[in-house]
Amino acid sequence: MAVSSQVVAIWVKQGLEVFVETGAGAGSWFSDQKFADAGASVGSRKDVLNGARIVMKINPPTAEEITAMPEGCLLCSLLYHRNNAETIAALNTKKISAIALDAIPRISRAQVMDVLSSQSNLAGYMAVIKGAGHLDKIFPLLMTAAGTITPARILIFGVGVAGLQAIATAKRLGAIVEATDVRPETKEQVESLGGKFIEVKGAEVGSEGGYAKEATEEYRAKQREAVNKSLAQADLVITTALVPGRKAPILVDEEQVGMMKPGSVLIDMAAEQGGNCVYTKPYEVVNQNGVRIVGAANLASELPTNASELFAKNLVELMKLIVPKSELALDVNDEIVAGCLICHNGEIIHGSI
């Protein structure tokens, strides 16, 4: 659900009219009555869209949804515009302005409205919990009269928002955690959470625009050599590497899966973009010679209440920028608006589509 009743109350207090589709919040345990009590009008999709100036949703719209939207309105949703040219063209044909929530620049001023970061935080937590559910052993050191159980070893590829939350969660559960990333500056972050950073010396990649750059073949070869020992010892591996607008890079190939221990688990958080493991299948668990490879897609949705609350708070901050005085005002000279406004007034703003 893109909004919560608390957020609806904020907007109503600001003098905005808010319409919510019947049953839209059911999956997050937000009842229609709560939205009504907060001041929203609750009705059918047709009623909600009729005359709407701003349409807010989570996922990219379907062709049917675009047809139902009023011409000239503003859509705020995840769009993944580089991979959805047909959707963008359909929106532009109806002169629907579109803000891609996944394209909000990763700058300090925009952190409060960055839905990818808020959802990645939850996904990183959930990746560890899901890994624990698939693993046949506990995470912490346990000393009993019957003997000592050694702590689980966890290896994490990628130290972005999701990776850092996965490190923190795994450490709280008592595991030994190692992590690797193309950006050498993440070493301090890993160590601050109690993890060990696996350095890949002599072939650093770095970051651009808040995202890791795509690694070179030289880097991948050196990373492979550096992490293989840890990979062979790991009970749980979590991969998080994504490249905006492109297929996810392969970080764990056939040979490396063959190095992993029988009974070990790999949680692939990049499953929806092709996966970081060569055997990954989205939403499926693949058993490859005793190694369970989990195509973990849309993990934040498994925590729907928290995911909806955070998503809604991100939208509150975005609305402060684009509706500053209860009137829609898209300032295309603003760095944030310029970065995420994909089409406007019948024109494609981003030529890279």
Q: 258 is written with which tokens?
A: 């063959």
Q: Active-site residue 233, yes or no? A: no
Instruction: Choose, from 47, 207, 211, 219, the residue flagged as catalytic.
Output: 211
Instruction: Choose, from 114, 181, 235, 268, the residue flagged as catalytic.
Output: 114
User: For residue 187, what are the CA distances in angstroms to 5, 81, 171, 252, 342?
Assistant: 40, 32, 16, 21, 35
User: For residue 227, what are the CA distances in angstroms to 69, 293, 330?
Assistant: 49, 18, 47
Note the helical H segments in 208-342.
217-233, 254-259, 304-322, 335-340
The residues pairing with 155 across neighbouring beta strands, listed in sequence order, are: 178, 237
Instruction: Choose, from 111, 207, 233, 301, the residue flagged as catalytic.
Output: 111
What is the four-CA torsion angle of 271, 277, 280, 286, rounded to 10 degrees? -140
Cβ(145)–Cβ(250) below 8 Å? no
- For CA atoms 343, 345, 346, 351, the dihedral sign is negative
Amino acid at 179: A
Instruction: Choose, from 45, 106, 172, 224, the residue flagged as catalytic.
Output: 106
Instruction: Choose, from 117, 118, 120, 165, the residue flagged as catalytic.
Output: 117
Q: Active-site residue 111, yes or no? A: yes
**Could you give the angle at the alpha carbon of 257 between the alpha carbons of 256 and 258, nearest 5°?**
85
- Show Cβ contacts of residue 251 under 8 Å, excluding neighbours closer than 6 positions: 157, 220, 223, 239, 241, 276, 277
Overall residue count recorded for the chain in this entry: 353
Cβ(265)–Cβ(131) below 8 Å? yes
Q: Active-site residue 211, yes or no? A: yes
Amino acid at 59: N
- For CA atoms 88, 89, 93, 95, the dihedral sign is positive
Q: Provide the annotated active-site residues.
A: 106, 111, 114, 117, 211
